[in-house]
Amino acid sequence: MTFSKCVCLVCQSTVAIPKKGNVERHFRTLHGKYDTEFPPKSELRKTKVKELKSQLLGQQSFFTQATSKAKAATEASFRVSHIIVKNKKSFQDGEMVKEAFVEAAHSLFRDFKNKAEILSPIKALQLSRCTVTRRCEAMAEDLTQQMWKDIGDCECFSLQLDETDVSDTAQMCVFIRMVFSDMTAREELLTLLPMKEKTRGEDIFLSFKNFIEKTQLPVYKLVSITTDGAPAMIGHLNGFIAKCRQDDAFPDFLNYHCIIHQQALCAKMLNMKEIMDVATKIACAIRARSLQRRLFRAHLEQADCDHSDLLLHTDVRWLSRGKFLQRFRELCLEIKEFFRAIGHAEYKQLSDGEWLLDLAFLTDLTNTLNNLNLELQGKDKTVINMISSVNAFKRKLQHLSSKLQRHDLENFQNLASELEMQGKACVQLDSARYTEQIDNCLSEFEKRFQDFSLLEPVATFMCFPFREDVEIDSLSSKIATLFHLNSSGVEDEIFTLQADIELKSRAHGQFWNLLAEEKYPNMRKCATSLTAFFGSTYLCESAFSHMKIIKSKYRSTVTDEHLEMCLRLAVSSYCLDYVSLADSIQCKSSE
């Protein structure tokens, strides 16, 4: 049967109407001698029928094989295009990949008898610039559809927003964290909004509002927004957050200043400006001129140093100061010898013991801050994890201050090393100056993280709700205030939850998804909202790093649509179904 027609195995002709009488009439009229030559139910007849079927399939495969090869080539084209854009390469690099593939195949399969057969599908790959562009558009659309399906299915979501300039166009990056009924979460790029003109809070709000209206984003599921703390975002009257609160379409939501940004601001409060200014001036004196830098590199090479150059400090990079200070301190002696060798006026600070001790202390403390910064970075970091890290760091600062007062320098390796180089004992160290710096840093942490300190008791309860020493009145009031719930209803659910023997037996695992919506509506809302919170704008910051590579000076003409498409393919965690994508288009091999 083919397309509702019967095909005769003997003569390959078709019978228009597939009825038993028509088929029998055809067989008896045209093939009357067949029963005599090949008796029914005999082995000879079975062998003949099998041979005829094989011949028919061979003829049909002549047409289907070409289609199958074209589909395979199209699927391979999708896979290669995805790799190209995921590595932030230009669309036209597909032609280079194909050329490299063919050249490699000539060597790899030189001694294969079917070399021509292997090379044929490679040459059939569709990887021209236009084809790769179309493939990426189709894949980005598929990822977008998967995301919007999840947005529709999730119980609530939170957003993080940040803005940067790329080739004179400000790009507003928006990431979404969705939480589902089973308490699982997923983080994805929601959109990239180009800001063609001004970037005031009102402009950002109007751009995002237009996106909401265009895509029908279910804003009623929004529970929190995290920003970088810029005035355009958190201004009391005209900031983006203020505009959102003034709009009736937005529900009551919480807003947070990115924890990592606040930690970086705390690090800047160290009152040791004279150390950074001198160190930066010395580094720039060496690196500002090409000749000076070449001579310094040669000097380091002759001295057989572990490092080949000085680093430069920039406030834009979170870890820059710590790495700069560590490298500068390790090369202090070489810098001093280099200035003496070239006849440069020597900086007196390089021979000042107190200044070098301050440098060593600042290096140690900045490295400690860098470790916290690294701990706060990363995908799928919940706000509970980040609050725990900050609290642990504050306790560590208190511990470091007390150890320093006792002249215990176990956690201050650079400071201990500098004292040893100067031939001084730990008791000779003026620790009061340094403990004051640590205490100032600690007080800045206490002041800046007040928003998250309000969330801490709620987070502690949600992590383990069966503690007997819970102050239910205070806790229910805080939960009701944070998540806009009824305080008495929250109290009742906490009492019920703590008395639930079945849930208590499963307290060591994930049990919030076991709570029935009818029995614990407030507790479920609290759990899903807390799971949805973004603690930082790390995803936006890392997306800007991707964006800087995608839209480089060599690809400055990339459109805003293609920029968002490339960024989505580079950062998305969704899996693509290449077979379905290949089936959705008309497959055609490359000439």
Asked if 263 and 390 touch (Cβ cutoff 8 Å), the reply is yes
Q: Write out pLDDT tens, residues 166-199.
A: 666 788 899 999 999 888 899 999 999 988 888 8
Nearest-angstrom CA–CA distance, 80 and 398:
53
Nearest-angstrom CA–CA distance, 391 and 379:
20
Q: Pseudo-torsion of CA 574, 579, 583, 584, nearest 10°? A: 10
Tell me the backbone φ, ψ of residue 159, rounded to 5 degrees: -125, 150
Q: Mean pLDDT for each consecutive 10-residue tract of the chain (591 residues)? A: 64 71 73 70 73 67 59 88 91 91 90 86 88 92 94 93 76 92 91 86 91 93 88 86 91 86 77 82 87 89 86 79 88 88 81 88 89 86 85 89 87 87 79 86 83 79 79 84 84 84 68 80 87 87 87 81 91 90 69 48
Nearest-angstrom CA–CA distance, 296 and 277:
21
Asked if 569 and 85 touch (Cβ cutoff 8 Å), the reply is yes
Parallel, antiparallel or unpaired: strands 169-179 and 14-15? unpaired
Rg (CA), the chain: 34
Nearest-angstrom CA–CA distance, 144 and 141:
5
pLDDT at residue 503, as a whole number: 74
Closest CA to 178 of 151, 203, 199, 200: 151
Alpha helices in 317-424 (DSSP H): 320-330, 332-342, 353-376, 383-405, 413-421
pLDDT at residue 1, as a whole number: 47
For the record, the structure tokens of 167 come out as: 């080739």
- Please name the helix (run of DSSP H) or strand (run of DSSP E) that holds residue 21, with its range, or none: helix 20-30
Q: Provide the β-strand partners of residue 163.
A: 172
**What DSSP line would sit under 261-303, residue for residue?**
HHHHHHHTT-S-HHHHHHHHHHHHHHHSSHHHHHHHHHHHHHT
Give the DSSP letter of residue 173: E
pLDDT at residue 64, as a whole number: 47
**Which pTM does this prediction carry?**
0.80
Residue 94: strand, helix, or coil: helix
Asked if 279 and 328 touch (Cβ cutoff 8 Å), the reply is yes
pLDDT at residue 179, as a whole number: 92
Nearest-angstrom CA–CA distance, 191 and 214:
12
Closest CA to 280 of 312, 308, 242: 312
Residue 85: strand, helix, or coil: helix
Neighbours of 276 (CB within 10 A): 18
For the record, the structure tokens of 3 come out as: 């397309």
Task: For 22-168, list the strands marked E by DSSP.
Answer: 156-166
What CA–CA distances, in Å, run from 406 to 351, 358, 372, 413? 27, 18, 24, 16
Nearest-angstrom CA–CA distance, 282 and 434:
24
Q: Write out pLDDT tens, residues 431-482.
A: 888 888 888 888 888 888 777 777 888 888 887 787 777 888 888 888 888 8
Residue 319: strand, helix, or coil: coil
Nearest-angstrom CA–CA distance, 147 and 299:
55
Alpha helices in 109-200 (DSSP H): 115-123, 129-153
Nearest-angstrom CA–CA distance, 408 and 416:
9
Instruction: Indicate the residue type of 15.
Output: V
Q: Provide the β-strand partners of residue 40.
A: none
In this structure, which long-range contacts are made by residues 418-422, counting pairs with CB atoms below 8 Å and at least 24 apart in sequence? 418/356, 418/357, 418/359, 418/360, 419/357, 422/353, 422/356, 422/357
For the record, the structure tokens of 74 come out as: 């199209």
For the record, the structure tokens of 56 come out as: 């028919």
pLDDT at residue 134, as a whole number: 92
Residue 536: strand, helix, or coil: coil
Tell me the backbone φ, ψ of residue 162, rounded to 5 degrees: -155, 160
Residue 195: strand, helix, or coil: strand
Asked if 554 and 90 touch (Cβ cutoff 8 Å), the reply is yes
pLDDT at residue 159, as a whole number: 93
